[in-house]
Structure 1
Amino acid sequence: MNRRKSREIATRLIFEISINKESYVDIIENFRENTEEKIEDIDFEYVIRVLKGVSENEAQINETISKYLVKWKLERLPKMNLAILKMATYEILFDEDIPNKVTINEAIELAKRYGDDNAPSFINGVLNNLIKK
């Protein structure tokens, strides 16, 4: 199973939840039924853990992200940047098995792929400030 691919799927599903306002259970089920991704490459245990964790700890995750935003409000962030930050903040706060540097590097790679030109440096700044405090 590919952790990078699984992290990407988790982030895309967090984004989808923010748009569709569906439960993480429904989003995962819908993804499994309709994806063209190779299912065997995805660590669904990880994806479920992240989506459930972000859902159950959303207030704390949002509060943590908000603390480290400079001249931004959470509500004004592009939804994909916010999805990347939620995934990464969840890993930093709640998943001790993943080193913070790995989480940040993966978040930057996701920002390069899905964000605008400023997204990688923005994501890097927020997450680096988070782990320093």
Structure 2
Amino acid sequence: MSRKKARIGQMQILYQMDITKDYSLEHLAVFLENFDFADDEIIYIKKTLPQIISNMETIDEIISKHLEGWSINRLAKVDKEILRVAVYEFLFREDIPKEVSINEAIEISKEYGGKDSFKFINGILGSIYRNMVE
């Protein structure tokens, strides 16, 4: 399984949900059918996406605490979803080192985010990480 590809899938379906303001899992099957995910990536996305959605308020609160002069609703949607996936991993995936989550989020933001998204993502996740280990 490519965990990176699964993270990209998580980000993409969360982006779609954010655009449509529909966080139900009704459209997940259609989404997964339209992209080339391996079976284990599909299993991972199906397992984790409901956890991300059910904990989104907590995830968003943590992100919001580290946004200086910004609200979470002002973030670029791609950046917001990348942050949500990474912070979910920080909080609920003990099997994934936080440094790996940060690195993967940065790499995904270089591919899907804006020109300087990776710097922003790195700064926010670094701040959250430092706060968690103190």
Give the alignment's TM-score, normalised by structure 1: 0.91
Find the counterpart in structure 2 of residue 5 from structure 1: 5
Counterpart Cα distance in 1 of 2:30 and 2:108:
22
Q: Distance in 2 between matches of 1:41 and 1:66?
A: 34
Shift of 1:27: 2.8
Q: Distance in 1 between matches of 2:19 and 2:97?
A: 29
| 1:47 aligned residue | 45
Give the 3 Å change call, closer, same or farther, for CA 4–41 of structure 1 in structure 2: farther
Equivalence for 1:15: 15
**1:23-70, CA deviations, whole angstroms, 9 ceiling, x for partnerless residues?**
34223112133x1x3332651222123311121011101100001112
Counterpart pick for 2:116 among 111, 118, 131? 118
Gaps of 5+ in 2: none
Separation in 2 of the partners of 1:29 and 1:96? 27
Deviating more after overlay: 48-57 vs 100-109? 48-57
What corresponds to 2:29 in structure 1? Answer: 29
**Whole-Å separation in 1 of the counterparts to 2:24 and 2:46:** 8
**1:97 corresponds to which of 95, 98, 103:** 95
Aligned identity (percent) is 37
The whole-number CA distance in structure 1 between the counterparts of 2:71 and 2:129 is 20
Task: Provide the alpha-carbon RMSD of the alignment.
Answer: 1.4
